[in-house]
Amino acid sequence: MKYMLGCDPEFFLKQNGKHVSAEGIVGGTKYAPLPIDNFGNAIQEDNVAVEFNIGASPTFEMFSNNIQKVLDYLKDKLHGFEFSTESAVIFDDDQLDTAQARLFGCEPDFNAWTHTVNPKPFASNINLRSAGGHIHIGCAIAQEKPEDVIKACDLFLGVPSVILDPNPARRELYGKAGSFRKKSYGVEYRSLSNFWIFNKTTRAWVYKQVDDCLTFVANGNQIDPLDHEVIQTCINNSNKDYCNYLMDKYKLCF
């Protein structure tokens, strides 16, 4: 099946062992990202995080290479800063004293299971910030059956991420089951954190799982209705017992 894959991941910066805001350091915004080449790769700030976009990619090698290209570019640009791989961080007050650092949920996303708009994020600790690893899927089946594709993404990507993603705290803010946006080219799957972006092995896993997800939907396969609530509870509550049950039943892999 032919499809294009992109992403717009986020991550945090550290300096001298402390997480620090990326505001004023990276440049660019959601509405005016800074391009780094002519292939759709660009950087920007989002709240206190570094965010980047990659060009739509028709192969795994291009997908992975685009991500690595932007990470390498940012390493050169951001001398003196470490890249944090944590998907949820409690920032000190002195890093959050700006309007940008207090801005959440500028555009709504939707829940494929409930067919409703997701509420704006609210965390028990107002200093909690999280980093997503959203995946953009462009193809005919994602245009024709967006909610079916997102539910399958929950099964093939969201469920195993309960074990692969070591920090469940992000789901206080974002990343609930079925989170997505419709796009002209297909869908944006918004449930994953950034855990997968930093090395080629996990990027390859994401690419393969998307391929399996699209094949599952295109072949007319259905998720057992009895598992709909199980999948949502598994992801939303980071329930590893449900994860193991679903992975065994549907022969999922890491």
Domains in the chain, please, with CATH?
A: 4-249 (3.30.590)
pTM for this prediction: 0.95
Taking a C-beta distance cutoff of 8 angstroms, is the pair 22, 45 a contact?
yes
Q: Residue 156: which residues within 8 A CB-CB, separation 6 or more? A: 209, 210, 212, 213, 216, 252
Question: For every one of its 254 residues, what pLDDT tens digit does the chain have, with 9 covering 90 and above?
Answer: 899 999 999 999 999 999 999 999 999 998 999 999 999 999 999 999 999 999 999 999 999 999 999 999 999 999 999 999 999 999 999 999 999 998 875 678 999 999 999 988 777 789 999 999 999 999 999 999 999 999 999 999 999 999 999 788 898 888 999 999 999 999 999 999 999 999 999 999 999 999 999 999 999 999 999 999 999 999 999 999 999 999 999 999 88
